[in-house]
Every structure is written in structure tokens, then in C-alpha cells.
Amino acid sequence: MEAEKLLAEPYLSKKPDGDQIKVVTAQENTIVAAGAGSGKTQTLATRFAYLVMSDEKNSVEKILTLTFTEKAAAEMYRRIYLTLKKFADELPECAEKNRAENAVKNFSKAHIQTLDSFSMEIVKQAANLYGIRPDFSVGAADTSSVISELAFSFIMKNREAKSIQWISEAGKFQDATKYFCEAAEKHTSLADSLLQKCAVFRESLKKQAEKISEFFSENDSKIAHVFSVVSDLKISLDETKSNSAEIKKLRNAIQNWENFGEALERIKSQKIPNIVLEKEKAIDWASSDDIRRFVDVLGELDAKPGKSKTVEQVAECHEKLFGENGIASDIFNAIDFIFNYENLRELYSLLDDFVEEVNSYKRRSGSLTFVDSTKLALRILYDQGQIRKELNKNFTKIMIDEFQDNNSSNRDLLLLISRENENGEQIFPDEKKNILELTGAIMQNRLFFVGDEKQSIYKFRGADVAVFNDLKKTIGGKILHMSNNYRSDEMLLDEFNKFFGAIGQPEKCKNYSVFSELNSAQKKFEATYSENAAAKFPVAKKEFLEKNPSEFADKSLHRIHVCMLNTSEKNKDEKKSCLSSKESRIYFIAKKILELNSGEQKIPFKDFAILSKSRTDYAEFARIFSLLNIPFSMDQEANIFAEAPVNDIYTALRLCFYPSDRKCYCAFLCSPFCGIDLPAAQTILAITKNYDLEESSAEMKKAFDENLEKEIAENISEKDFEKYLRAKNFFNEIQDEILREPIAQSITKLWYECGYRYAPLWTKTNEYKNDASSRTWKQTENFMEGQYDLLFELARTADAQNKDVAWFIDQLNVLQENFRGENSELDAKEVNYQTEKKDAVKIMTIHKSKGLEFPYVFICGCANEKEGFRNFEGKIYAVENCAPVVIYNSIKENYFAKKVQSLEKEKDGAEFKRLVYVATTRAINHAYIVGDWAKGEKGLSEAAKEKLLFRIFDFYERNQNDAPFEFIKIDFVEKSQFNSQTNSNPISIKTRNKILGAQNALYNSFDVTKVITTPNLPHFRTSPSALEEKNQYNTYTGYGYTEKSVAQKNAAQEKETPASFSYPQINSFVNSSALAKNEYGTLFHSFMEAWSKNPFEFLPEKIDLQNYFFDESLVQKISEANKKILLETFCKILKTFLELKEKNPALDALQNRREFFAEYKFKTKIHSYIFTGTIDAVFENADGSYTVLDYKTDSVPDEKIYYNQIGCYQKVAADLFTAGDVTKISCILFFAETGEFVEITKNARIAFEKLTDEKIATLIKS
């Protein structure tokens, strides 16, 4: 059957247009540029079906179809199947119908998958040949955290290395950690050390050294000119009468250089040594006094170029050296490279060693990254000719979608399995050759690439749009365009073409479009918006709309709306009564949505999407939309524990695994699973708080103690006790199942089978109405269901990674304690799940919107005054021909980093254009670009004009007749106006009555006949330090001594502890300064707190004595000399503390990363007193017990006076960490001035047990 008949409308839901037919029927290698809304997915599905039906060689298993994401692969799979099924059902009897039927029958054999999964399949075939576990996994969430831990351990082992100290600030080894993590995660892979030890960085350094040597040899004349200009500089400085600070610095730099002229002549006459051939000589040259002073002069000259221009001669010199054609900066930085070469050599060697250590871990654990998988697959195809040959034979056609989001490794992998004459021999990679030189001829009717250079927005994942742009040169074949846009309306498409490509605009507007070519040399990473690729409105769609006009005609003059708030409109005082710029912009969006929702067309909320460049404004959107009763859903939950469902289900899971967790036990009793009211739960907890849970397998199953049931029954109501018994039976039923079943199955059981889903759904009877109160009512119901969906998807992902319930519970605990989830291996931020909100505004990032469409789109974060490109915070960058390059100091002072910065900024700018394109082209009817700028009477600042969208908006504001969009002015919103608006929708009487009725039903279900009263407590408040006993030298409790006992104390020191008392200067220091002894103690405690926060970095030999920060309120009383004495003394004490390893369990806890809390604040009740205090340190021991550590600054150690105080700490720690078991809490004192550890565990417990109200009162009075 001919293609035209085969692709006719009877067999397809819509006949393909001319461009689509060319794409479907293409035979040779083809590159398709498919614009936004061009029907790409269905066209690819139709092409798959056409290939199968038109040639029996193209059976369903012979066509390899690759996509970028799993979601896209699933959609492609569905579309292809349905298209084949339609052909199989609709075609008359013919060969094509038979082939379609066979394809449907064998569709399970189809290879429709992501490129990542295809790479994994290749790696699995050869994993054992490279020492990789055959059961390896790819993309585990914990890989980054493991690499980070390995990096820290590696750095600590090598902390004495000069290069490690060189890249780290004093004591801050986390600085070095960043280098090593980036090296292993971003710039190397397991493929780099398959057959030999990794040498990626060592090889890179050789290339860098070659580049530096080439620079000096190729710029001989220019360098000589620089020396001459610097020689003339002294004459200029002598002649000028200026005494500005910059000129003085320059004069001093030259005057301090003896024999200035002679030295310059020596430098000029010297041949600069080649760092590659004459390493030692080159380093000596760069380190010589002449060169270092020369560098100093260049540095001073470049330090303040703006102010230096006040002196004509110096300004001229600066322009010659550092202007557009000057190379002084490059000379400066190249010399610096040679000067630091030895440090770099050692660092690069360490980086290779660490990468090898990480790769060894990956091989052992089988935990690979996606980069590992891709690079390994490529390496295997080079090495293993038989695998390559088999794959070449297996497929007749290869189609890959969204190729603009891939890179050269992905391209090379496909070319390697598409060789014309595959002989199965090993291919040896050679970076000096291009891929075609390595592979030889490529089959000319096999490859089919689809993409859109204007939609490449995944640079941060390694995507390289230049690879897509170069495909024509790489594979030959033809280029086809799909430019008909079936998504957006005709008027919007016309404005797209004008806004993005100035198509149809007057000549004066040509340089004021998003993709305008301001420079003639088009970069490979730049996208273009040419006439032949411009968006077109399909003829068929136009004819259809003419026959079927819409009921509501959109009378808007524009479809793109630029909505800007001028931050210069109000002064600082006027802004105080207004919402912030951000809040005003979000309020504008909210009011516009409400206006369109309640207007003539009544646009539903689901038709609106807010696409943001980042998620930084999500919290403000949530707050303002909630206040205005606008239903919304976000692509990421800000805090998964913000509402009840996740908390309650987590509590049930945790109690099953940690039945001794009393806090969790109480929360479980109060949850909808049990329904016990809070007073009853508190009573139960009080009865069971001293329950000693044995750590045996039998006892671990019991969270409910049957021996205590009689006492519980006597103290709570009969109805609550019935609930308690039901809770016990329920828990016993589910515990074994939850510990045994997959996590997702357990969560499903708790939600559905155990009935939790009915707790948040009691509003089901409320009928939906289009008013604010009803929306809020329904929104709550759907939100609760969405919380379950989110938790279920997290659990499903954990099951897929073979994680157990214990891991899942622990990671949820990390998320709960730190809602940002920065230390959790559960990726709650990026989880994708279907929500049940049927009518809600969608809030998502631009990246998440890829492939979606919405009638109304609001674009945020692309046109903001404070919005800019990312900071260059990375430590290692890829530099062409010598990557990777370590950025060992600031961007400006690194020869290679300077080139990186320039190129990366250009690439970021190019991707920003594509980001704007992707966001705007999601719109079907209208696109709103929302932002702010500072536009005063003189217009925009020069810096603002450099921003792409600001430059375009500014031009069209002055030429509005030609503008491809409408300008809308956003005003600052008065706070009073906002408050009145957000309170303008009170709950209706009908809704209020429903709520009250439900509340009454809820309260009537509880037995409130028995009231548990809380006794009135006397307002006695104190601190544990008030419980200190007197000793023979004390005349009051606390840290200090009174004047009349100083003589006694000093005599005791000399008589009793002359050998151990190591720091007599502290006593004289305290006595001679205005600093009290207790204030000295406060300073010491803060010093030890600083150590405990960074124990592996805050080391005595690393502390900066000059810049250490003390409490300013205290150090004002101390002279600078005494500050230094004090800090030196503290460092000595810390050194002693660290050396006493056998007596110091705190070090063991820190080194093994067990729980450790410093300056732990608490409040507790003991008898009639409320105690508020701070425990210096409390940490977990290897056996699960805990230790309280208290620092003492007494000159004469006397542990007896602290028994009461430490006994109080012991009780608090037991309540918090060991379910009230004080036998699991050890107590240690560290006497700083004598360097002694004293254990007082038993005595502290005995002393505390003897405390009464009367004794506490006596101690306080004394």
C-alpha cells in the first residue's frame, strides 16, 4: 500500500501534515528539528508503525526507540501500541495489516526505553569482565552521601599533605572535601579506571602545563612589550603629582624593588623556562624575587582600575596591559600557575587516588551513577567487539527522541552500534580523532534523531546542545523541520515569532528578540530562530476553527503580556506600608487568576500554570494563594511533615520498629488509628514512662505492657480504656506484617485497610460550589489524599532500591528533624506522583513543565531585578583540551578559570534564552511574563541593560506600536489592602453549621465525664547550677570565689595540687581583670562548643589566634594581650583534652558519628521546681547508653560539690534518650585547669534521689 493511502485519516485519528509525512517516511539517516507543539510524539509513534508495516525486516523487536525520561518512554510505549492497534483493526486485508497484527501480538518484545536503561543493559553483559558486581544498581539516592563520607575520611588521612592545607582555610577541611566530591561525581566515572589506575587528573595537569608553555612561547613579543610598559611606568609615576592611595601603592611596589630597571632588563633577557621540559628551572624562575616583585606591581596596577584612571599616564598603562588587547592578566595568572605547580601536582595525584578509592567502592558495592552507566557502556562497546557486533545485528532502525538533551557520549554509543562494516575488533579510543575516524563509515539508513535546539535546558545534567547542532556534519543524511504548532492559538504564534526571532518585525527591531544574532560568529551552543523553523499555524486547524467557532471570542489585542513592577517607584519609607516586591508580584498573579476564574468564560483553576525558574518563591505562593482561597498544587512539597497524614503513618511505622520510643508511643495513641484523647494519652505515658523495655526479641514485640493495664484502667475513663485495648490489638496485628512486607504495601494497608483514609475525608458530604469557602473545604480533602500519594511514591521508590523499612523510617526521621531534607537519602524534593486535585493551579519549575501545555501560563524568575546567572562555586571545571581543571583560588587569579568563566557565562546566557522559550511555548492562549526592574528617571542602569529581557522590554516600551506583547504595570500593594482582601471571604453560615455539627459529633464521641486536673504548681524556677554544694574555699555556689577566700584557695593550690595545676596564669588573669570567674567559664564553654561542632577541623594547631571570635559583651573587659593569653591557654587545654583518648569517650562518639549534642538546652520539673539549664555535652556510646560530660573551670577540683547538679542532668538525659532509665546514663566531669576526667555516675544518681523540696530550697538560699 502506498504511503499516502496508509497514512490516510481513516486509519489515524488525524491525518499527518506535509512535514509530518516527510518525517514518518524518511529512509536515510535523518535529523528532525521539531518545534514546540508540533505533534512530535504522535509522529514518532506513526513512524514506528510505518516502519513495521512497510518492511518485514523492521519487526517490532528490531526497532530501538530511545527517550530521555522514563515518563516519556512510558508515553511513547502507549502511543506506539495504540497506533499499531488502530492500523491492525482498521486496515483492510493486506500485507501491512498482517505486519501490524504481528507487531501488536509481539509488542512485549519492543525496545522502547530510556538511553540510561539501554546503557545498563550493555553494562550487564560485561560487568564481570571489569570486576563489577552483576547485580549492580544505578542511581541510588545514597551514592552522593557515601562519596562525601569517603572524601572526608580520605582528607583526614592526608591532612598533613601540603596541597590539602593549601586548598583549605585554617582548620576547614570541608573546603577540600568539595574538590574531591566534585572530582569523583562530576568529572570522572568508573570507566576511567577499568584496566589501570585512574590518572585523569595527572594527565590533565600535563596538558595544562603544555598550554602554559605554549602561551609563553607563542607570545614572546607581547610579553616583551608588557615588560617595556612596566619599565615606562616608573617614569610616569615620578612625573605625576597625584598622591592617591592607588598611586602610592604603585610607587611603593616599585621603590621597594631595588634596582628596578636592572631587574626588568634581567627578566626581559631571560628565556622563560618550559614547565613541561624544565620543571625545576621553571618553578625557580616563577619563585624568584624579580618575578614575584614583578607580579606584585601588576597586581597593584590591576587592583583598582576605575580609580587609577584619574591619572592619565597610569590609565594609559593600565589599558595597554589589561585592556581588551592586553595580556598582563594572562601573564600574571600563568606565572601563578608555575609558582603553584608543585601543590597542583600533589593535589592532582591525590584526586586520582581518591577517584580510584571511590571506583573501588562502586565495584564492591555495585552502586553506580548514571554517568558511570553511560561511560561504561561506551567503554564496553570500544573494548568488546562481539557485544558491539551483536547489537549492530539486533536492530535495523534506531530512533532517539529529545536528543538536544544528550551529549557526545550518548551520540558515540549510537554510532558505535551503527557501523557499516562491523568486524567485531576492539577499537582504541583516541581523543585526537573524531568519532567517525574511529568508527569508520556509518550505515546510511539506520539513525533517526529528533530534537529542538531551542528546548535544550538540561546543561546542569551534562546535556550539550552543540552535539545536536553538529549532527549534520557527524552523520550526514537530511535535516527535516516540523514547524506547525498545534498547541497555541494563531495570534499567540505570531507574537512568538516576533518575540523570539523578530520575524515580520521592522528592521529597527531585528536586534531586539530573544534569539537575535548580535554577533556574526554563531556559537555551537547557541540556538537560532530562523524563518524556516518559525512556528506556523496549521492550515487544517485554521479550517476547523472557521467551521467550529468558539462560543467565547478572545478579544485581547495581545497574547503575550509583560507585567513589570518598578521598584524605583516608591522610596524606602513608602515601601514600609506595602508588601515586598515579591509579594506584590505574587498578589498580582493571584488577582489575575481570580479575575479570569470569575469572569465571563469562568476559566477553571486547572487551566493556569505558574512556571518558575527556581523554587525559591514557593513558600510565598503557598501563603498568598491560601489566604485568597486559590486551590493549587506544587511539583515539590516544601515539608512533607506539614500535615497530619504523613506524621500519623510515620508514627505507626516507627513504633512497629522502635517500640521503646515513648514519644512515638504517645503520638500513636493520639492518632486516628487509636483515637485516644490527649489527657488520657498523657496519663498512660506517665504510668509507662519508667517501664524498662528489655532488648530481647520477645520483648521488642511489645509496645503495650499487659502488666500495666490494671493501673491504666484505674486512671482513665472506661471509653478511653476500650480504645486503649483496641489500639493494643491493632498494633499487635499490624506489627509483624509491617516489618515483613514491602514498605509501599504497609503504607497502603495503613491508609486503606486500617481506615486512616476516612479520617481526613469526613467532609465528603460537602457539595462543591464555586465560592471561596467551598473551595477551601474541598481543597483540604484533596490535600490530605495527596499527602498519602506522596508518601506512597517515596515508599515505592525505596522498595525499588531494595531498601528495608528500618532504612525508610530512619530517613523519614531525618526529613522530620530537618524539613529541607539536606541529610536525608530520601529524595522528597524530586519525587513525581499523581495528585487527586482536579481543579487547581499548577505551580512548577520550567524544567518540570517540559512536554506539558496550559491555556494560561505565568512565567516567574526570568525578568527580575535581582535575578542573575549562577555563581561559579564549583571547584573543578571542564576546559576544552585539558579538562578537568582545578580552580584552586578565585576565578580572576587562575589562568584556566578565567577562560572557564567567560565560556560558562556565554553558555548560561544561551541556555537562559532557551529556558524563556520553553516556558513561553507551554501556553495555549496567553503567556504572562512577570518580573520587576528598577527604572528611574534616567531609565535603566548600564548593568540592567545587559540583561536580555530588560534590553528587549526597554526598547519596546519606547516603541510600543511595534511591541509583540502588551505592557502591564504592577503596583506595590498596600498592606491594608492586602489584609482586607484576604479576609473578605468569610465562611458561609451553611458551611459554618456543617463544621459545628461535625465538631459536636466528634466531641460527643469522647467521654468527658472524668476530668483530669493539673495541680497548680508554685512558681519556683531555678537552674541546676544552684544545686552546687559549698566546699572549704567557696563562700557562694557557682563558678567563682569571693575575695576573702582567695588566700585560702591559693595556699591550697600550692599545697595540694602543685604538679597538676598547669595554668596559674588564668588565676592571675581573672584576679587582675574585670572578668569574673564565671564569665571566664562562659568563654571556655563557648570555645568547647565551637570544637564540638567541627571536631575534625577545630584543632589547636589550626586555630587562628588573631581572628577567633569571642563573645563581644565579655571580651570588651579584656585587653588584646590578655585575649591572646586566654586563647592560647584554651588551645593548650583542648590539646590535653584530645590527648586523653582512653579516658575521653566523647572522641569515640564523634569519630564513629554517633549522636552528639553540645550545649543542650532543657526545661524540666523536679518536685515543685522548674529547672532550666544547659548540658555541656551529651553523647551516645557504642552500647546504646549515653554519657553526660560537663566542663569545670575550677582551679581546685572537688567533684562532690557537683553531685546534685549532675544528678539533675542525668535525670534529664534519661528522660530524653533512654525512656527514663538513669542506669544507662554515665556522668563525667572534665576539670579544664588540671586536665582531669572524673566519673561521678553513681554518686550523682544517689545525690539526686535524696533531693527534696526542702533541700533544694536550702541549697538555693545558701
Binding residues for ATP: 34-41
CA-based end-to-end distance of the chain: 107
Alpha carbons 969 and 896: distance in angstroms, whole number: 45
Residue by residue, what is the 3-state secondary structure of 545-599?
HHHCCCCCCCCCCCCEEEEEEECCCCCHHHHCCECCHHHHHHHHHHHHHHHHHCC
Sequence-distant (6+) residues with CB within 8 A of 1221 are 692, 1214
Beta carbons of 1144 and 1137 less than 8 angstroms apart: yes
Q: What is the CA 40 to chain-centroid distance, rounded?
A: 32
Q: Work out the angle between the directed axes of helices 200-218 and 895-920 (0-180°, nearest 10).
A: 110
> Please, what sign has the CA dihedral across residues 599, 601, 607, 613?
negative
Count Cβ atoms below 10 Å from residue 308 Cβ, excluding itself: 22
Q: Is residue 925 helix, strand or coil?
A: strand
Q: Closest by alpha carbon to 339, among 387, 275, 398?
A: 275
Q: Closest by alpha carbon to 1045, among 1035, 1031, 1055?
A: 1035
Phi, psi (deg, nearest 5) at residue 1015: -65, 150
Sequence-distant (6+) residues with CB within 8 A of 74 are none
Alpha carbons 855 and 859: distance in angstroms, whole number: 13
Phi, psi (deg, nearest 5) at residue 400: -130, 130
Pick out the residues of the known binding site.
34-41
Alpha carbons 818 and 989: distance in angstroms, whole number: 40
Alpha carbons 726 and 720: distance in angstroms, whole number: 10
- Kind and range of the H or E element at 1178? strand 1169-1180
Question: Any idea which residue has 501490524 for its cell?
Answer: 100
Question: Any idea which residue has 482586607 for its cell?
Answer: 980
Which residues are bridge partners to 1160 per DSSP? 1175
Q: Closest by alpha carbon to 751, among 851, 650, 658, 654?
A: 650
Which residues are bridge partners to 365 per DSSP? none
Sequence-distant (6+) residues with CB within 8 A of 255 are none
Q: Is residue 115 helix, strand or coil?
A: helix
Residue 776: Cβ-neighbour burial (10 angstroms; 0-12, 13-18, 19+): middle
Q: Is the peptide bond before 538 cis (omega within 30 degrees of 0)?
A: no
Nine-digit cell at 790? 506522596
Beta carbons of 339 and 286 less than 8 angstroms apart: yes
* Residue 31 vs residues 22, 414, 468, 587, 978: alpha-carbon distances, Å: 12, 14, 9, 45, 53
Alpha carbons 257 and 268: distance in angstroms, whole number: 16
Q: Is residue 929 helix, strand or coil?
A: strand
Q: Tell me which amino acid residue 460 is.
A: F
- The beta strands (E) that lie in 910-1034 are given as 923-933, 966-970, 1020-1022
Sheet containing strand 560-566, strands side by side: 632-634, 841-845, 608-612, 854-860, 923-933, 560-566, 966-970
